[in-house]
Each structure stands twice: as C-alpha cells, then as structure tokens.
Amino acid sequence: MVPMRIAVTGSTGLIGSALVRSLRADGHEVVCLVRRPARTAEEVTWDPKRQYVDADGLAGCEAVVHLAGAGVGDHRWTETYKKEIRDSRVLGTAAIAEAVASLDVPPRVFVSASAIGLYGDTGERAVDEDAPPGEGFLPSVCVEWEEAAAPAEEAGVRTVLARTGLVIAREGGAWGKLFPVFRAGLGGRLGSGRQYWSFIALHDHIAALRHLIDTEPLSGPVNLTAPQPVTNREVTEAMGRVLRRPTLFAVPAPALRLVLGEFSSDVLGSQRVVPRRLEESGFSFAFPGIDEALRAAVLR
C-alpha cells in the first residue's frame, strides 16, 4: 500500500468521519474541507453556498471524496428545507468538481456521493445502475447532484458517483434513529412493511468507498448497497432477533404522512436496488445479510 494524500468533504458526518479514520489508520494523509478558516495543514477552507474552494489546498491530492450534503431526514420538508437539500448537494458538488478541474495536476479520481433515491419508487422490481431516474423530488435532486460532478470528468479525472443506500450504523443516519426505538421494545413495521429497503453495513460502505478510490478503471454510477435488499417487514423481524426485543408495534401509513409530511413518501416507498457494478468490479461484502449487518452495528 502506497500512502496517498486524499481530500474529504463531509468529514464530520457519519460516513465521512468513519472514512477519515479508516484512511488515516492505513497511513494515508487526509485533508478535510471545513466551512471556516483552516487551522492546520490537514484542513482546507470551502464554502459550498458561495461555491468557493481553496483549490491550492487540494494540490498534491491523488483522490478527492465528496460526501457533504444536508441530511434528507433531518427536518420536515418545507420548501425552504427542500431548497437546502438541493443546494447543499448541487452547489457543493459543482464547487468541488470545478476546483478539481482547475488544478494543474488534478487528482486521479473524484468520488462524489449520490443516492439510490435517484431511482424513485421501484416497487418489487430490482434495479441496477442502468435503470433510469424515477419521478419526484429526490430523484430530481439526485440527477442534478450527479450532473454537477461533470467538470471533473470533463477535465479527464476518473469520476465515480457513489449511489448510497441506507447505511446501518448506531451512530447516525436512519438506523441511528431506529436502534433506540427497537431497544425500548417500541419498534415495528412502517406502513404495509412490503416496501424494500436497500441497506449496507457502515463497515462495507467505507470499504466500498475505498474500493472506488483504488479500482481502475471504475467510473460513473455505482450502487453502494448490500446484494439482497429486504422488505421493511423483514428489517423489523431482524431487528427483533438481533436486539431480542418484541416488534409488536406498527406505524400506519397515514400517521407517517401526518408526522413526516412529504418525506413519508421516501420512508413508505420501495427501492429494490442491487450493486451490480460493485460486485462485477470484485468487491466482497463482509456483512451481506441484514442480520449480519445489524450485529456488526450493535458490536461496534
């Protein structure tokens, strides 16, 4: 393993912080993009809203991993927050991609986050990276998000679009909210429970990001999900098994719509997404099944 200089946005988030720890543990030099004046040589200043990046700080980086973006489920989807979701992804990605393209010696790879939300509601139909975008707010955001990475690709940088599924972790994300509820014995299916959830263990997600960095000539969209998506009912049953708690409660769809508003369509929608390109490129999952992924999160 040859140590590299790697830049990461979103380095304080669930995925970003885990990626930074993993890279540094293996001897890589990681520089984190921060939204304030840089205080150390390991920081680079940027302002995604103003589309500003201190591009000089990216000099010498062999890889740039862009993970920053406002949390989709952090707030109710008001028109103001929907704009925040879109702008944080589209403007931020454009700023990083243009900074990468401007370098005299650009990095050899640009890994830019995206999401399986691009596919919309797929019902029981399994989809891979060749599937077209769905309809609705999240698919439209994802399309713009990915298009914003174009300047890096046009500059000849290998550009990978990491379409992330539901990351299983205790520390944050959707599962960070589920674990306490199920531990209290209050967990249950959401809506009908027939909707598919395309999950991935945090360990496998970080390993997959590193695989994208290292694997030539992999580029374009790559689904970061476990091989076998499961229904929400199956997730509920697995949570009960792993945590040894009852799962008697169920939240009816109308109640979710009342509490979550427009975001409920994402919770109740079905996304049966498979990681065809990731597996074809030789990636091996450590925790491919839902029970394994949940136990890995519990034991972290």
What confidence score (pLDDT) does residue 257 get?
66
- CB-based burial of residue 20 (10 Å sphere; 0-12 exposed, 13-18 middle, 19+ buried)? buried
Closest C-alpha among 233, 99, 231, 74 to residue 157:
99
* Domain at 5-299, CATH class: alpha beta
**Sequence spans of domains, the chain:** 5-299
Convert the pLDDT of each residue in 146-155 to its tens digit: 999 999 999 9
What's residue 22's pLDDT?
Answer: 98
Cα 162 from Cα 271, distance rounded (Å): 16
Cβ pair 195, 269 in contact under 8 A: yes
Mean pLDDT of the chain: 93
Overall average pLDDT of the 19-42 stretch: 97
pLDDT digits (tens, 9 = 90+) for 53-93: 999 999 999 999 999 998 887 778 889 999 999 999 999 99
What pLDDT is stored for residue 177 in this prediction? Answer: 84
pLDDT value at residue 1:
66
Q: What is the pTM of this model?
A: 0.95
- Classify 220 in phi/psi space as left (phi over 0), alpha (psi -120 to 50) or beta: left
pLDDT at 260: 55
Maximum Cα–Cα distance for the chain, whole Å? 60
pLDDT at position 262 is 64
What was the pLDDT predicted at 268? 76
173 pLDDT higher than 60? yes
Tens of pLDDT, residues 231-290: 999 999 999 999 999 998 888 767 656 655 665 566 678 999 999 999 999 999 999 999
Q: What is the mean pLDDT of residues 2-31?
A: 97
Q: Is the pLDDT of residue 103 over 60?
A: yes
Closest CA to 23 of 214, 278, 165, 219: 214
Average pLDDT over residues 102-111: 97
**Is the four-CA dihedral 157, 221, 145, 209 of positive or negative sign?**
negative
Q: How far apart are CA 133 and CA 111, in angstroms?
A: 20
Q: What is the rounded average pLDDT of the residues 169-194? A: 89
